[in-house]
Amino acid sequence: MGTCELCGADKVSTYKTTTSGARVDACNRCIERLGLTKPIPPVNQRISNPKRTSVRISGPNIMHKSDKELAPDFHKRIKQARGDKGWDQREFARRMNERLNIVQRIENGNRPTDALIKKIEKVLDVELLIESTASNSRQTSNQGSRNMTIGDAYEDLFSGRE
């Protein structure tokens, strides 16, 4: 028995299903109401494979959230800093040891790689990574005793409510 991630119902049989590209545990009621499929057996009925061994993958944790993100106006900051130094795009590319078309793409707003961001910050002495902020937020009312669930958000999305 588990908790439905869509409606919040506790102690119900849940099934792994996909909704809007996300894998969630959902109860039968939500699966039927939303027209979802339940390809995987219920969570509480799964049988583990005793021959299976775990493999640890080393390297950077790609799920770790950084405190900083690329500024939305990074390309304007780069142009401004380059102009303040009196460099044209060709000179800037030479000083970074990059191709001219890379600099042109970045200044047109194409996102550079993280390594290139660090390189640009160093060469131009400019800050491109800023404190991250929430991009989407929604105010919910506290009229009921339960919190907002994924199912509530899903309903809001498809019913056109704001």
Is there a single domain that holds both residue 155 and residue 111? no
Euclidean distance between CA atoms 157 and 151, whole angstroms: 10
pLDDT at 58: 59
Q: Is residue 61 domain-resident?
A: no
Q: Tens of pLDDT along 56-86? A: 555 665 555 567 788 889 999 999 999 999 9
What's the pLDDT score for residue 68? 79
Question: How confident is the model at residue 91, as a pLDDT?
Answer: 94
Q: How would DSSP label each residue in the chain?
A: -B--TTT--SSB-EEEEEETTEEEEEEHHHHHHHT----S--GGG----TT----PPPS--TTPPPSEEE-TTHHHHHHHHHHHTT--HHHHHHHHT--HHHHHHHHTTPPPPHHHHHHHHHHHT---EEE---S--------SSS---HHHHHHHHHHT--
Q: Which domain holds residue 157?
A: 1-46+149-162
Whether residue 141 lies inside any domain: the answer is no
Instruction: Provide the whole-model pTM.
Output: 0.45
Same domain for 77 and 118, yes or no, is yes
Same domain, 121 and 76: yes
pLDDT value at residue 148: 76
CATH number of domain containing 118: 1.10.260.40
The answer on 154 and 126 residing in a single domain is: no
Q: Which stretches of the chain score pLDDT less than 70?
A: 38-66, 133-146, 160-162
How many C-alpha atoms does 86 have within 13 Å on its Cβ side?
0
Asked if residue 52 belongs to a domain, the reply is: no
Query: What does the angle CA 128 – CA 133 – CA 139 come to, to the nearest 5 degrees?
Result: 160
pLDDT of res. 6: 83
Same domain for 40 and 83: no
